[in-house]
């Protein structure tokens, strides 16, 4: 068990990989990645990219299967990170709409490759899963 403790301690040390960038930047980039590499964020990004400015319920309808709670949370975090602009029209009933910022549009473009990958290879992923299942059943 001492062995494991040692291994774990080593794991929590700084990675010695990717020397060109500083550890501080590394850490920040990882933080940003972790926040942004989220299912709902990707879906909302897509919806806004495709449809331009949308209202709260419209985003929910287009994304599909998201609860109000998660929609609010996701949108707020995206606003906080500067990915969307939230515009409140002080009327009753309330009217709020969301638009991608330049930063958001850039991120959406960056994710484009992942969407394309998924569309291109989902059949292969399915096949790999099937093969894996059969292999472990045996």
Partner DNA sequence: TGCCATACGCACCAAAAGGAGAGTGTAAGA
Partner DNA sequence: TCTTACACTCTCCTTTTGGTGCGTATGGCA
Q: Measured from the CB atom, is 89 or 113 closer to a second copy? A: 113
Paired tokens of 93: 């009933």
Q: Measured from the CB atom, is 8 or 123 closer to DNA? A: 8
Q: Measured from the CB atom, is 30 or 116 closer to DNA? A: 30
Partner in contact with 52, chosen from a second copy, DNA, none, beta carbon below 5 to 8 Å by kind: none
Site for DNA, rule CB under 7 A: 1-8, 39-40, 55-58, 65-70, 72, 75-76, 86, 92-97
Among left, alpha and beta (phi > 0; psi -120 to 50; other), residue 129 is alpha
| Contact criterion met (CB below 8 Å) for 66 and 60 | yes
Report if residue 127 touches a second copy, rule: CB under 8 A. yes
Cis peptide before 93 (omega within 30 of 0): yes
| Contact criterion met (CB below 8 Å) for 101 and 84 | yes
Among left, alpha and beta (phi > 0; psi -120 to 50; other), residue 58 is alpha
Which residues form the interface with a second copy (CB under 8 A)? 4, 7-8, 10-18, 21, 25, 28-30, 32-34, 36-39, 42-43, 47, 50-51, 57, 60-68, 79-82, 103, 106-107, 109-122, 124-129, 131-132
């Amino acid at each position: 068990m001492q062995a494991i403790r040692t291994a774990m301690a080593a794991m929590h040390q700084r990675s010695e990989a990717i020397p060109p960038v500083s550890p501080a930047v590394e850490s920040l980039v990882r933080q940003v990645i972790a926040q942004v590499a989220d299912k709902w964020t990707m879906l909302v990004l897509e919806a806004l990219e495709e449809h331009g400015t949308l209202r709260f319920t419209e985003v929910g309808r287009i994304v599909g299967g998201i609860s109000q709670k998660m929609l609010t949370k996701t949108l707020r975090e995206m606003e906080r990170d500067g990915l969307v602009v939230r515009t409140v029209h002080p009327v009753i009933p309330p009217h709020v709409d969301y638009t991608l910022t330049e930063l958001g549009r850039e991120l959406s473009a960056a994710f484009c490759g992942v969407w394309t990958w998924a569309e291109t290879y989902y059949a292969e992923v399915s096949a790999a899963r099937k093969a894996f299942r059969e292999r472990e059943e045996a």
